Structure 1
Amino acid sequence: MLRRVYVIQYRRTGEFLTQGLFYTRSLKKAGRLYDPQEAIDTAINNIDEGDYEIHSFFEGEEDAPLN
């Protein structure tokens, strides 16, 4: 089964925000959010000056990374 996920990327460094609110260069280790508003709120509250991008894609539930 596919589900839509959202990940947050810090534009300045290209790193992704993890589930624990740290940074990683690995998309596989990026934290997944499942609600677009939650992704926006998380980005606003954790990345300075709106310097972020939110990416959305579909992945199989079995493909979700283990955090």
Structure 2
Amino acid sequence: MTTTRPDRPDPHTDVSLWFVLAHDHLGPLVPDEREYASVRWWTPSEIRAADPGLFDPHMGRMLDKLKTLGA
């Protein structure tokens, strides 16, 4: 669980449920346009090299877990 927007008058708690899904990285991603302005594929190395503020604060922990599973 992560408190988001703590510096604003309307903070809330996000509960992240992580699921590993198999999907061809060349296949289309079809997001719900009401919720997402855009989507893209990120490799684990791209995620680790990017600004951590772009991702869920627990993303690194999830990547570490995937690594232990051989994913």
**Relative CO higher for 1 or 2, CA cutoff 8 Å, sep ≥ 6?**
1
Q: Larger Rg: 1 or 2?
A: 2
Same structural fold, with TM-score higher than 0.5 when normalized by the shorter chain: no
Q: Under a length normalisation based on structure 2, what TM-score does the superposition of the two structures give?
A: 0.26
Q: Under a length normalisation based on structure 1, what TM-score does the superposition of the two structures give?
A: 0.27
